[in-house]
Amino acid sequence: MISRINHAKSISKALNISEIAGWDRWNSFTETIIGFDLPSQQDEIVEFSRENVAAFSATIPGDYYYPIGQVFEPDVVREVCDLHGLDYEDVTTLRTHGGERLNELRDRMARVETMDDADAIVLASALVTLSRFELASSVLTRAGGRGARFQFEAALLRYIIGNRTQGRGLDVNLMSEVRRTAASQEVPAHRLLDACSIAVVWYLKGVGVTKEDFEWFARTGNTVVLEHGKKIPAVSTSAWYRGVAMIPAEIGDVSRTRALMNEAAVSAQRAMEDSDAPFARNLHKTYLESSVKEHLYVSRDEEKALQAAKDLVAWDPLWSVSAGEYADVLAAFGKAELAAETYDRATSLGAPYVTHHLRKAAQQYAKAGMTHRAIARYLVLASMLPDPSEVLATVDNMLDNNTHATLMAVRQQLAAS
């Protein structure tokens, strides 16, 4: 593994692609997803890291509350391990790296059988935010599950785990179990609304929710908001409005989509006014992400989509995902060269999605007719992958008599390796 990444570094250096320098950096995301910690430099911390660490630090014994933000697939953790020569199994089983918080997780894992329901859910939730899905599942199994609230929270976590690990092959019974357990009077209104938001969003994305369950969650969520109004934390109502905005978006209803997104924005702002916690700031970032998609796919308004993307990057400037989304907008509106340069920027910020952003940059340079730049990025990408054959085939189709000698030499080196 280390040799492959060292190979990629040497090829990147040989090709002198200064625009993507930093792709292998140990950044804020890496520090958090690997070691459940923050970098020492405050100006290098991304919102994902702030939210993850703050959520764990703010937990109260006996309280089920644990804000779960963005959860990444196992392949994202595997990519980080590949970039830094770490053993994936050691990382995902907490056998290596990390400081105080990771040590605390290990200690709690050893005490699962004696934990009360709430503490077991908090432990499993923390593991989910770090994409340690097998460990989280084992906590939910070993804890047993005594109360109705535990059953609901465990069912929702199992759905989230399945969503990230199984994708479109997800068993729909997982969300049906959430619905069954949600009927308990022990489930507070805001947590019921959170479940409704998740069900609505993922039904519309086609992942693991039946139409019957979707309709029940959509009706129930609407009832919860009407009956409880501002008593529900703004974090939950903002997520709800973003979710249901996808319903009119599906049929291209621009005005209704924007009206619901405005409600989401109001709730996000209220959340930040109520608390300076990172998960309130991350909520606003999520609103901006949804706004980008709204203007890209629903209103198809280039100016508004680009502005939303710029606002997103400005909110969390070191977050590679945001830079990549900005590049997505540029690409969608035919600005191939600028999109390629922005994907380069996303690559240079490091994990997550280094190989994805590198591939996208190469594709956009090719569209812009900048063949040599495209080939250079494809070659670096090929050196990172366990099976580079597809990428190298793409390169071979682009080679001609005008190809720079350095690119040809690197291609020959890869063929020989």
Q: How many CB atoms lie within 10 A of CB 89?
A: 11
Please tell me the distance from the alpha carbon of residue 122 to that of residue 258, in angstroms, as a whole number: 35
Q: How far is CA 13 from CA 10, 18, 20, 301, 401, in A?
A: 5, 8, 10, 40, 24
Q: What local confidence, expressed as pLDDT, does residue 276 receive?
A: 56
Q: What local confidence, expressed as pLDDT, does residue 184 receive?
A: 87
Tell me if residue 133 falls in helix, strand or coil: helix
Please tell me the distance from the alpha carbon of residue 378 to that of residue 388, in angstroms, as a whole number: 10
Q: What local confidence, expressed as pLDDT, does residue 3 receive?
A: 66
Contact 264, 287 (CB under 8 A): yes
Contact 79, 354 (CB under 8 A): yes
Q: What local confidence, expressed as pLDDT, does residue 374 receive?
A: 95
Please tell me the distance from the alpha carbon of residue 346 to that of residue 83, in angstroms, as a whole number: 15
> 320-332 and 354-367 helices cross at what angle (nearest 10)?
20
Please tell me the distance from the alpha carbon of residue 68 to that of residue 356, in angstroms, as a whole number: 24
Q: How many CB atoms lie within 10 A of CB 245?
A: 26
Q: What local confidence, expressed as pLDDT, does residue 121 receive?
A: 95
- pLDDT tens digits, the chain, 417 residues: what are they? 456 677 778 888 888 898 999 899 999 999 999 999 999 888 899 999 999 999 998 888 888 989 898 999 999 999 999 999 899 999 999 987 678 899 999 999 999 988 899 999 999 999 999 999 999 999 999 866 678 999 999 999 999 999 999 988 899 999 999 999 998 889 999 999 999 999 999 999 999 999 999 999 999 999 999 999 778 888 899 999 999 999 999 999 999 999 999 998 888 888 777 765 667 788 888 889 999 999 999 999 999 999 999 999 999 999 999 999 999 999 999 999 999 999 999 999 999 999 999 999 999 999 999 999 999 999 999 988 888 889 989 998 998 877 788 888 888 888 777
For the chain, what's the residue count?
417
- For the question of whether the overall pTM of this predicted structure is more than 0.85, the answer is yes
Contact 184, 145 (CB under 8 A): no
Contact 383, 360 (CB under 8 A): no
What single DSSP character describes residue 58?
T
Q: What local confidence, expressed as pLDDT, does residue 143 receive?
A: 67
